[in-house]
């Protein structure tokens, strides 16, 4: 099948695709959310369950998404319109496009914080500040409307500019430069962190499982984290797969993306936990882990400002290569289904996400009414939290379940295997892949969804 129109484009090389897909997967989810969730769920034991979730669920959902995208060369809505014409399946694609818009709006706000903290750390704003002062500095930073909206705007403008460059010249070119840079800075931080005094305590927490800390909530959180981190459930990997040529081996590509994403998440843990314990802080601190705690750590180490600025630069890089993939989903929809030019599609998607992100940017203190919209079991959700809960969690789980059911039961395993044999004629693992995609993934994800409906705070 040929691309729908000249505005679509294709990846220039296999390596370019892997960098771009890994760039999508590796983001705030790995560097900020992964260590935070590890810290809230008992350390090493959570890491183990997370690894199982990547290998047993996410890897197969990723294969399914790549296959659908490459088969049809379409955006998520176009996929279902092509493979199940006239059916309600297209609404699964619509959900993906809406989710792309929803996630990009608040993701850009949080990504903006990395720019603010890059600047603050580089100029030494936290030097000599006490832990309490650092915490209140974060509070006043996120409560300042002008700063929040400007940083959100800046991040979205950078995203739109990269996306306007298209598939090969934009996403691929930038990912190839930014991804290796990211790995380099992270390795530097790990070396610094594991050589701090008392780093061993953090390493033990991170590596030696304490089985008494294994909880149902931890298992659910691990699976949810794996979907978020691997950009699954909203059609990002469908869209990236749609720019892929028939010669590529999808199983190898998915293996690389899963391995690189997991490597970065694990390295982020190695950078954070030894340092955290070295200065005697609690791992379960939650969402403020990076923005409230790390400046304390950077204050206490040699060349702290430099390492701190390096860390936030790394996080900004990771966030932008993810954000471009999120905004690309609605953009691909407009290009394919509405026949818009790439320029117009990207401007409308990015502009829409910017507007939708304004209430999120103002919901951390700037406009008090937006910071507490809903309370479930003692947990108060502001606008940003609600967007994260709805789009970043529920929607991704529903989307992943839908993809597994569609591929396993509607499109069918024989079509999937035929697609996997393109670029990999020796593919022989039909029974293994069939079992996981048709039975294991739908059942486990459905159970997860049921659990989430009854425990809306499971990820909170």
- List residues near ligand PFF by CB under 6 A: 24-25, 27-30, 103, 228-229, 231, 234, 236, 322, 325-326
The minimum distance between CB 301 and ligand PFF, in angstroms, equals: 26
- Name the residue with the smallest CB distance to ligand PFF: 29
The minimum distance between CB 163 and ligand PFF, in angstroms, equals: 14
The minimum distance between CB 102 and ligand PFF, in angstroms, equals: 10
Minimum CB distance to ligand PFF smaller for 283 or for 330? 330
Minimum CB distance to ligand PFF smaller for 399 or for 408? 399
Minimum CB distance to ligand PFF smaller for 34 or for 334? 34
Cα distance between residue 153 and residue 389, in whole Å: 23
The minimum distance between CB 18 and ligand PFF, in angstroms, equals: 15
- Structure tokens of 378? 């003692």
Q: Residue 47 in 3-state DSSP?
A: helix
Minimum CB distance to ligand PFF smaller for 227 or for 436? 227
Residue whose C-alpha is closest to residue 201's, from 281, 122, 95, 99? 281
CA 258, 261, 263, 269: dihedral to nearest 10 degrees?
Answer: -130
Minimum CB distance to ligand PFF smaller for 64 or for 366? 64
DSSP state of 284: G
The minimum distance between CB 201 and ligand PFF, in angstroms, equals: 27
Minimum CB distance to ligand PFF smaller for 105 or for 325? 325
Minimum CB distance to ligand PFF smaller for 228 or for 406? 228
Residue whose C-alpha is closest to residue 430's, from 445, 419, 441? 419
Q: Residue 456 in 3-state DSSP?
A: coil
CA 44 from centre of chain: 21
The torsion region of residue 427 among left (phi > 0), alpha (psi -120 to 50) and beta comes to beta
The minimum distance between CB 391 and ligand PFF, in angstroms, equals: 9
Contact between residue 401 and residue 223 where contact means Cβ atoms under 8 Å apart: no
Long-range CB contacts (< 8 A, 24+ apart) of 207-213?
207/44, 207/47, 208/43, 208/44, 209/43, 209/44, 209/45, 209/47, 209/48, 210/42, 210/43, 210/44, 210/45, 211/45, 213/41, 213/42, 213/43, 213/45, 213/46
- Structure tokens of 384? 């940003």
Minimum CB distance to ligand PFF smaller for 155 or for 228? 228
Minimum CB distance to ligand PFF smaller for 134 or for 151? 151
- Structure tokens of 32? 């900020």
The minimum distance between CB 230 and ligand PFF, in angstroms, equals: 6
The minimum distance between CB 246 and ligand PFF, in angstroms, equals: 24
Burial class (CB in 10 A: 0-12, 13-18, 19+), 114: buried
The minimum distance between CB 57 and ligand PFF, in angstroms, equals: 15
Cα distance between residue 334 and residue 338, in whole Å: 5
The minimum distance between CB 264 and ligand PFF, in angstroms, equals: 9
CA 399, 40, 30, 367: dihedral to nearest 10 degrees?
Answer: 80
Cα distance between residue 254 and residue 68, in whole Å: 13
Cα distance between residue 37 and residue 34, in whole Å: 5
Minimum CB distance to ligand PFF smaller for 330 or for 423? 330
């Amino acid at each position: 099948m040929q691309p729908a129109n000249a505005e679509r484009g294709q990846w220039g090389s296999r390596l370019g695709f892997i960098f771009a897909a890994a760039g999508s997967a590796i983001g705030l989810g790995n560097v900020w959310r992964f260590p935070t969730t590890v810290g809230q769920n008992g350390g090493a034991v959570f890491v183990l369950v997370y690894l199982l979730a990547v290998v047993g669920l996410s890897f197969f959902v990723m294969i399914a998404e790549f296959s659908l995208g490459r088969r049809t060369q379409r955006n998520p809505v176009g996929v279902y319109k092509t493979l199940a014409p006239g059916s309600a399946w297209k609404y699964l694609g619509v959900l993906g496009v809406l989710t792309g818009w929803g996630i990009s709006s608040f993701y850009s706000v949080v990504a903006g914080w990395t720019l603010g903290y890059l600047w603050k750390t580089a100029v030494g704003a936290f030097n000599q500040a006490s832990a309490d002062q650092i915490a209140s500095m974060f509070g006043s930073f996120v409560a300042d409307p002008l700063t929040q909206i400007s940083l959100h705007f800046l991040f979205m403008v950078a995203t739109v500019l990269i996306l306007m460059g298209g598939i090969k010249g934009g996403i691929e070119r930038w990912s190839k430069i930014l991804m290796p840079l990211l790995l380099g800075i992270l390795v530097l931080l790990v070396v610094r962190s594991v050589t701090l005094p008392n780093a061993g305590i953090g390493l033990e927490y991170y590596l030696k499982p304490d089985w008494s800390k294994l909880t149902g909530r931890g298992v659910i959180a691990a699976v949810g984290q794996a979907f978020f981190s691997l950009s699954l459930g909203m059609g990002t990997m469908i869209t990236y797969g749609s720019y892929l040529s028939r010669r590529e081996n999808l199983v190898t590509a998915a293996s690389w993306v899963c391995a690189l994403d997991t490597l970065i998440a694990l390295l982020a843990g190695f950078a954070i936990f030894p340092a955290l314990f070295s200065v005697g802080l609690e791992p379960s601190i939650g969402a403020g882990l990076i923005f409230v705690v790390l400046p304390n750590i950077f204050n206490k180490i040699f060349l702290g400002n430099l390492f701190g600025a390096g860390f936030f630069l790394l996080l900004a890089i990771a966030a932008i290569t993810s954000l471009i993939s999120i905004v690309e989903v609605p953009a691909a929809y407009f290009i394919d289904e509405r026949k818009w030019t790439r320029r117009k599609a990207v401007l409308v998607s990015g502009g829409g996400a910017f507007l939708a992100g304004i209430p999120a940017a103002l919901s951390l203190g700037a406009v008090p009414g937006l910071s507490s919209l809903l309370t479930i079991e003692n947990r108060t959700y502001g606008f940003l939290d609600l967007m994260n809960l709805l789009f970043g969690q529920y929607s991704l789980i529903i989307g992943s379940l839908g993809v597994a059911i569609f591929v396993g039961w509607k499109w069918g395993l024989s079509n999937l295997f035929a697609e996997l044999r393109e670029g990999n004629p020796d593919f022989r693992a039909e029974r293994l892949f069939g079992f996981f995609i048709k039975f294991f993934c739908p059942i486990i994800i459905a159970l997860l969804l049921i659990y989430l409906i009854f425990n809306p705070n499971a990820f909170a």
